[in-house]
A = this chain, B = another copy of it.
Amino acid sequence: MTPVAALASPRRRELVRLCWDEPRSAGELHRALPDVTFGAVSQQLKILAEAGLVSCTREGRHRIYRAQRAALGPLRRWLEAQWDDALYRLKLEAELDEARRGPAPAPRRKP
């Protein structure tokens, strides 16, 4: 699953937030989310880990999850790569938009 897709789910965003500032075991994360089973939490953590948004290390019989803050950088860059190379034209485009919104005559086609 792509990082954006992983972050599309409120539940998974909550999990990332919960282990953002301090590492937490799967059990702690589960206890923080009383409306859901342990299994469900584990599944969502797996998705987040595969997307690179959290890391998981063992400590004894616990598994400690930590938000991978640095993954937000690549995520932003990934979003930017989709579109933002054109971002410098933003202000110009905005003006053009306004202009085009006015007249609206000929049915438009690809140039």
Contact residues of A with B, CB < 8 Å? 2, 4-5, 7-8, 13, 16-17, 20-25, 28, 55, 57-62, 64, 66-67, 69-70, 72, 75-76, 79-80, 82-84, 86-87, 90, 93-94, 97, 100-101, 104-108, 110-111
Contacts and interface: CB of A to CB of B under 8 A. Distances in A.
A82 to B, nearest CB: 6
Contact of A23 (B66, B72, B108): B108
B4 A83 contact: no
Q: How many copies does the complex hold?
A: 2
A107 B82 CA distance: 43
Contacts of A86: 20-21, 69
B59 A104 contact: yes
